[in-house]
Amino acid sequence: MSDDPYSPLVREYFAAPAHAGNLADGVTAGIGAQGVRVALSGSESDGRIRALRFRAWGCPHLIAACECFCRRYEGQPVGSLVAFRAADIMQILPVPVEKTGRILVLEDAVRSLGQRFGGTSAPN
């Protein structure tokens, strides 16, 4: 199994994505590109992200990346969303480099969500 294309973390997040779904009263952002689709919804309280949910159409790495993002960003300042970097998630899971384009779709969706919360643009 040494050439298993999926790490244990990818398998875990793909098999049981606890944050799959959407928040009926949340802020939403969705993007479709690179042959995949990602939709995020989030709610905030006192400047912090209270809850996050996602829906995704794509490969297991994309679905795991969405779940990973939700787990890591709940409770974080809303402003952190616009600084989200797909590269960080790709390193944690990890995601093979040839799938970078798909994970960048998640990055665009996260930043879009951050802007809808009223966050500032990401620093260059």
Partner 1 sequence: MADEIIYLDYAATTPVDRRVAELMLECRETRFANPASNHRAGRESAATVDHASRQLAALLNVDPATLVWTSGATESDNLAIAGGARYRAHRGRHLVTMPTEHKAVTDVFRMLEKQGFEVTWLAPDSRGLLDPDDFARALRADTQLASIMYVNNETGVIQDIEAIGSICRERDVLFHVDAAQAAGKMSMDLGVMPVDLLSLTGHKFYGPKGIGALYIADRPGCRVEPILFGGGQQQRIRPGTLPTDLIAGLGFAAEIAASRMDEDMRHLEALRERLVAGIRDVAGLLVNGDAEGGFPGIVNVSVDDIEGESLLLAMDPVCVATGSACNSRVREPSYVLRALGRSDRLAESAIRFSFGRQTQCEDVEFAARRYCDAVARLRELAPEAA
Give the interface with partner 1 as residue ranges (CB under 8 A): 6, 11, 14, 17, 20, 30, 32, 36-39, 55-60, 63
**Rounded CA gap, 101 and 86, in Å?**
10
By C-beta, is 39 or 93 nearer to partner 1? 39
Residues in the chain: 124
Tokens of 43: 């709610």
Residue with tokens 């994309």: 62
Min dist CB 117 to partner 1, Å, is 19
| Choice between 16 and 123, CB closer to partner 1 | 16
CB of 17 to partner 1, least distance (A): 7
Tokens 């040839």, residue?
98
Residue 51 vs 122, nearer CB to partner 1: 51
Nearest distance from residue 76's CB to partner 1, in Å?
23
Tokens representing 113?
């969500």
| Tokens representing residue 63 in the block | 């679905």
